[in-house]
Amino acid sequence: MRRLYKILKWPLMVIVLITAGLYITGNEFIIKAVSLTYGRGQTGVEIDDYNYFDNRVVLSGPHQPWEESANINSLQMSNRLLEEHEKMESIAFLVIKNDEIILEKYWEGYGQKSLSNSFSMAKTIVTILMQKAIQEGYIKGLDQKVGDFIPHFNQGDNEKLTIGDLSRMSSGLNWEESYSSPFSITTKAYFGNDLEALINTLDVVEEPGKEYKYLSGNTQLLSMAVAKATGRTLSQYASEKLWIPMGASTDALWMLDKANGNEKAYCCFNSNARDFARFGKLWLNKGNWNGKQIIDTAFVNLSVKPVFNETQHYGYSWWLDNVSFDTEVFFMRGILGQYVIVIPEYDMIIVRLGHKRDGKDEGNPHPRDFYVYVEEILKLVK
């Protein structure tokens, strides 16, 4: 026993010192990050992380089911598409055309009501909620100052920042969008437990509204402004204004930084393929849901147009590609290949969920797997 103590003494002391150092420096979130990634045999975030965090329920209401085509799943996926699903470890693939499901496939035991993390598709959801708050008068418009809702942003250069700057990714904030560094603010936002305090450490360091720069902190700050303006939690507002009116099949879960805390709004809205597709239908129909105008058509049109001439691939929290397929395409996107893709000319929505996404070719803002999903489905329906 004494020999074992001698062997373990120094490694244990090192662990204790490292742990103490992390707490002293305010980096204790790294302990959780390591335990939830490497401790589970992973190297990063995963689609089932909601099981390991506190969540707030986004309540659904009376279900409005999708129509299924009489020939559902009669389309045969190409070998290229099947190989992409295998390589990227898809768990759900859904194609809706003319408001009917024509193709639906699941893997790894996932099904129609299985929850999976949206990751950054949630950014689009937050922008939709922002626009709803504008329509209801809680927010005056895209040009209203963020400082009207969050006191930290009503002084110095911070007071220049507007609601619209956050939605179109042109805030000029000093947020480091790094996914590989365990010490980055992005990592701390995901694994830490105080998003409000974290956001209030940010400052405007570049002129807002001038240049596109993708920052998750923009959406987190935007969500806090929406919650403050409406007097509701983000999940409550999403339930009341989107999830219930759109007839979602199941309650969704929005991950929190701690119990009764703030939603991780830049990511982490957990739902299923059929319900994620409802956001595509809402935008495909110009903000109208089965005869009810939920979101103003003018904003829908604005959101899927490039904000800056030098950045043609991004609007108001929607990704854009109007050149690769000889037709307009816009979509929601998450870091592990979560997609809700809308192709208006073909009255079509494609949803893909899974564990991985492919890399990007040099000079191209979109991942390679995105092109495979769209190209192969267009071959089947044209």
Q: Average pLDDT over the chain, rounded to whole?
A: 92
Indicate if the pLDDT at residue 4 is higher than 60: no
**Torsions phi, psi for 7 (to 5 deg):** -65, -40
What is the per-residue burial (b if ≥16 Cβ within 10 Å, else e) of 283-298?
bbbebebeeeebbeee
3-state secondary structure at position 130: helix
Neighbours of 347 (CB within 10 A): 16
Q: What is the pLDDT of residue 34?
A: 62
pTM: 0.92
The pair of three-digit structure tokens given for residue 85, joined into one six-digit string: 């699903």
Indicate if the pLDDT at residue 44 is higher than 90: no
Residue 260 Ramachandran class (φ > 0 left, ψ -120 to 50 alpha, else beta)? left
- Short-list 146, 143, 164, 144, CA closest to 154: 146
Q: What is the pLDDT of residue 277?
A: 98
Q: What is the pLDDT of residue 271?
A: 98
Q: How far is CA 2 from CA 7, 10, 14, in A?
A: 9, 13, 19
Give the residue carrying structure tokens 């700050």: 221
Indicate if the pLDDT at residue 337 is higher than 60: yes
Indicate if the pLDDT at residue 254 is higher than 70: yes
The Cα–Cα gap between 312 and 290 comes to 31
Mean pLDDT of 260-269: 98
What is the per-residue burial (b if ≥16 Cβ within 10 Å, else e) of 81-93?
beebbeebebbbb
Q: What is the pLDDT of residue 22?
A: 44
* Out of 2-11, 170-179, 204-213, 296-305, least confident range: 2-11
The Cα–Cα gap between 309 and 11 comes to 56
- Portion of the chain with pLDDT greater than 70, in percent: 88
C-alpha dihedral, 360 to 362 to 363 to 368, nearest 10°: -30
Q: How far apart are the first and last CA of the chain?
A: 73
Mean pLDDT of 11-29: 47
Mean pLDDT of 334-354: 98
Largest CA distance in the chain: 77
The Cα–Cα gap between 382 and 375 comes to 11
- pLDDT class of 43 with cuts at 50, 70, 90: low
Could you tell me which residues are beta bridge partners of residue 350? 95, 341
3-state secondary structure at position 321: strand
The pair of three-digit structure tokens given for residue 164, joined into one six-digit string: 């619209």
Indicate if the pLDDT at residue 95 is higher than 50: yes
- Short-list 245, 333, 331, CA closest to 284: 331
Q: What is the pLDDT of residue 221?
A: 98
Indicate if the pLDDT at residue 36 is higher than 70: no
Q: How far is CA 82 from the centre of its chain?
A: 25
DSSP string for residues in 189-237: HHH-S-HHHHHTT--B-S-TTSS----HHHHHHHHHHHHHHHTS-HHHH
- Give the residue ranges of DSSP H helices in 76-167: 79-88, 121-135, 163-167
Radius of gyration of the chain (CA): 22
The Cα–Cα gap between 171 and 287 comes to 26
Identify the helix (H) or strand (E) that includes residue 332.
Answer: strand 329-333
CA atoms within a 13 Å half-sphere pointing along the CA-CB vector of 330 = 22
pLDDT tens for 197-240 read: 999 999 999 999 999 999 999 999 999 999 999 999 999 999 99
The Cα–Cα gap between 316 and 330 comes to 11
Indicate if the pLDDT at residue 82 is higher than 70: yes
User: By 3-state DSSP, what share of the chain in percent is helix, strand and coil, each rounded to 5?
Assistant: 40, 15, 45
pLDDT tens for 137-185 read: 999 999 999 999 999 999 999 999 999 999 999 999 999 998 767 778 9
